Amino acid sequence: MWIEKLVHGVLELDTPIGPRYLQPTFVQRALLLWTFRNFPSLPPQVLRTGERALIDRLVAENRFVSVSAMNAADWPVIGRIERRPPAITEIVPTRKPVAVAEPASTEDNREAASA
């Protein structure tokens, strides 16, 4: 299986319109095999900078393979890059600290008690 992935493997890329497949070179496939050696699918956040740059370069070079031309079942998938949309976070306004009331001076309390 490793040899098949090294010789003919493709990289699956999750997109909003569905999975797309990238055809890396032999050396790039070797690097990607090492990257995906323990996990079949990884989000881009866990990849090293060089690995992210490699994937961005493959996309920029338009190394996509047509699913109909490649007979998707015949080509081994090296790994899958998850492209999840960024989570929408709610911006919570910062709260101002609550003012602490100062205790009444002890002299005023002594005067009131002695009167």
Do the domain assignments include residue 17?
Answer: yes
Model pTM score: 0.65
Average pLDDT over residues 90-95: 72
Do the domain assignments include residue 73?
Answer: yes
Do the domain assignments include residue 20?
Answer: yes
Q: What is the pLDDT of residues 34-49, one digit of tens each?
A: 999 999 999 989 999 9
Query: pLDDT category, 83, cuts 50, 70, 90?
Result: confident
Which pair of tokens denotes residue 13?
Answer: 């890329």
Do the domain assignments include residue 109?
Answer: no
Contact 31, 54 (CB under 8 A): yes
Do the domain assignments include residue 38?
Answer: yes
Do the domain assignments include residue 105?
Answer: no
Q: What is the pLDDT of residues 62-79, one digit of tens each?
A: 888 877 655 656 789 999
Tell me how many domains the chain contains: 1
Q: What is the pLDDT of residue 84?
A: 59
Domain that holds residue 44: 2-81
Q: What is the pLDDT of residue 4?
A: 84
Do the domain assignments include residue 72?
Answer: yes
Contacts (Cβ under 8 Å, ≥6 apart) of 11: 21, 22, 24, 32, 55, 58, 77, 78, 79, 80, 81
Q: What is the pLDDT of residues 3-60, one digit of tens each?
A: 888 888 899 988 888 888 999 999 999 999 999 999 999 998 999 999 999 989 998 8
Do the domain assignments include residue 12?
Answer: yes
